[in-house]
Amino acid sequence: MENKTYCFYNPFLLKNMKEALIRIVKAVNEREKIVLYGCCDLDGISGVSLLFLVLKYLNADVEYFISDGDGNFDIKTDIIKNHVKFLGANLMITVGCGVNSFEQVELCKQLGIDVIITDAQVCRGKVPNTIVINPSQEGCVYPFKNLSNAGVTYKLVQAISSYYQMKSISKYLDLVMIGTMSNKATYDGENKIMIDEGIYHMNYTNNYGLKALMKVNKIKHIDIENIFKIIDNVAPSWNNSRVLDNARITVELLTTSNSDRAEQIAKYLKNEVKSSKVYAK
């Protein structure tokens, strides 16, 4: 079997990455309100959690909103009007959605909200007239096209960290790995690095939510098999009417700095999975 060696590519090979960084730096430095918009699959949840933690570390004024995916992963017009606008957003960054949301991007412009779209969905034509980061969009020379949504978010974080000279952002690869594996992304290229290094870092993680998931699921050492066990016990269950609430509370789990709260949420989510399995029968 051929043993390939993979490496991380320069994040600025992604089309529009420089423009995205400039806009984010302005928002961070001027304390503009940033709203992260993600859908309720675990890939998006992991990406939102990652970006939220990094921007919080930089003392940004940042909040997040999780929308139901509704099968199409578009930005919802009513959420822009009733939540993003209400939060006073100057900048909205999507995680894993929005590459087909033309009308919603124009609505944001009318409301004075700048938009950065990060999305790993395959682009099949034009993209909205805003800053779009997607390796498959026309004119993007990025060599690896199969990134997960959490993976695309990590590339953005790499760019942000290069500007602010942040050290050890590889510790966040545990979140990226969870998102990538939940999305069943191909195990090659940068995905392989993110999965392999993410598993390594999760064994030494300082993320209270991931620690709580390991404790509640009685896992002492992380490997591929145990990761799927954790994913099964945290991924929002589509059989459960509370899927959206559970998705939002999962972001809280992955971003909390309170170990007791993390354990409380981890136990709750495990019970939700049990009840949804009973319901499915």
Q: Which residues form the domain of 229?
A: 11-274
Q: Is residue 6 part of a domain?
A: no
Q: Tell me, what's the pLDDT at 128?
A: 95
Q: Is residue 233 part of a domain?
A: yes
Nearest alpha carbon to residue 234 among 252, 222, 221: 252
Q: Is residue 115 part of a domain?
A: yes
| pTM of the model as a whole | 0.94
Output the furthest CA–CA distance in the chain (Å, rounded).
55
The model's pLDDT over 100-159, given as tens digits with 9 standing for 90+, comes to: 999 999 999 999 999 999 999 888 789 999 999 999 999 999 999 999 999 999 999 999
Radius of gyration in angstroms for the set of CA atoms belonging to the chain, rounded to a whole number: 18
Q: Tell me, what's the pLDDT at 278?
A: 47
The model's pLDDT over 97-116, given as tens digits with 9 standing for 90+, comes to: 999 999 999 999 999 999 99
Which CATH number covers residue 248? 3.90.1640.30
Q: Is residue 27 part of a domain?
A: yes
Q: Tell me, what's the pLDDT at 235?
A: 73
Domain total of the chain: 1
